[in-house]
């Protein structure tokens, strides 16, 4: 079924807000666990999406992508983390970075359960509730898996880049850090060259198929 723009917004809004907000909260919570209270003191350990919204990455970009395609991604304001406050800065920073993408994978499974619930409701004659849940659950799976996999690419400032810098020898990590100001440009070039989709698609479809098999969505 072809969806109108308002219908797409209604379906994708909640999954996107939860995906990016909980991603950032996960970073902050683990940083707090390992000794850095920067995110907590700045009020960012909150499930309130308004605390995490980035005007471009959370609002403008997803809206534009909704209008031109069925593929959406975005980002929130990064949660502040000061590695100097961590108990073991290099090791702990790797775990803090991984917390965001892993939270997205967990959320994708949660949305899989919601999609399955929608299918059961639709089959029971409650399509008025079941069909929206199926659409929203499917959107939640997609946005979370894409965000989780995309953020694991080892390019600073993505989470995968932070993990890479945490496990590399300090001198080499220092040089890799010089890529951080150009990370977004690198991603844009990879996107328009088609390389980005070729890199992440196998992992995205692997996880989506896994969720589909677990909940019987395939």
pLDDT tens per residue across span 100-128? 999 999 999 999 999 999 999 998 888 88
If you ran DSSP here, which 8-state letter would residue 115 be given?
A: H
Which residues are part of the catalytic machinery? Answer: 24
What kind and span of H or E run contains 211? helix 195-215
Report the 10 Å Cβ neighbour count for 2: 4
- Biggest alpha carbon–alpha carbon distance for the chain: 62
C-alpha to C-alpha distance for 16 and 73, rounded to whole angstroms = 8
C-alpha to C-alpha distance for 11 and 112, rounded to whole angstroms = 15
C-alpha to C-alpha distance for 145 and 112, rounded to whole angstroms = 11
C-alpha to C-alpha distance for 41 and 65, rounded to whole angstroms = 34
Q: What is the pTM of this model?
A: 0.91
pLDDT tens per residue across span 70-94? 666 677 888 999 999 999 999 999 9
């Amino acid at each position: 079924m072809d969806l109108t723009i308002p219908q797409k917004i209604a379906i994708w809004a909640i999954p996107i807000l939860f995906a990016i907000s909980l991603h950032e909260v996960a970073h902050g919570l683990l940083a707090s666990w390992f000794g850095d209270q920067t995110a907590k003191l700045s009020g960012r350990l909150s499930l309130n999406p308004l605390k995490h919204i980035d005007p471009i990455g959370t609002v403008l970009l997803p809206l534009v992508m909704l209008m031109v395609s069925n593929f959406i991604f975005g980002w929130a304001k990064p949660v502040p983390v000061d590695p100097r406050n961590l108990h073991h800065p290099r090791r702990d920073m790797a775990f803090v970075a991984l917390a965001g993408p892993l939270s997205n994978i967990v959320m994708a499974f949660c949305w899989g359960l919601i999609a399955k619930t929608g299918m059961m409701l639709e089959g029971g004659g409650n399509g008025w509730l079941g069909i929206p849940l199926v659409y929203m659950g499917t959107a939640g799976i997609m946005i979370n898996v894409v965000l989780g996999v995309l953020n694991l690419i080892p390019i600073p400032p993505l989470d995968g880049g932070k993990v890479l810098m945490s496990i590399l020898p300090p001198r080499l990590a220092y040089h890799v850090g010089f890529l951080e100001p150009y990370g977004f440009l690198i991603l844009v070039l990879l996107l328009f060259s088609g390389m980005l989709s070729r890199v992440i698609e196998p992992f995205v479809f692997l996880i989506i198929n896994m969720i589909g098999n677990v909940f019987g969505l395939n």
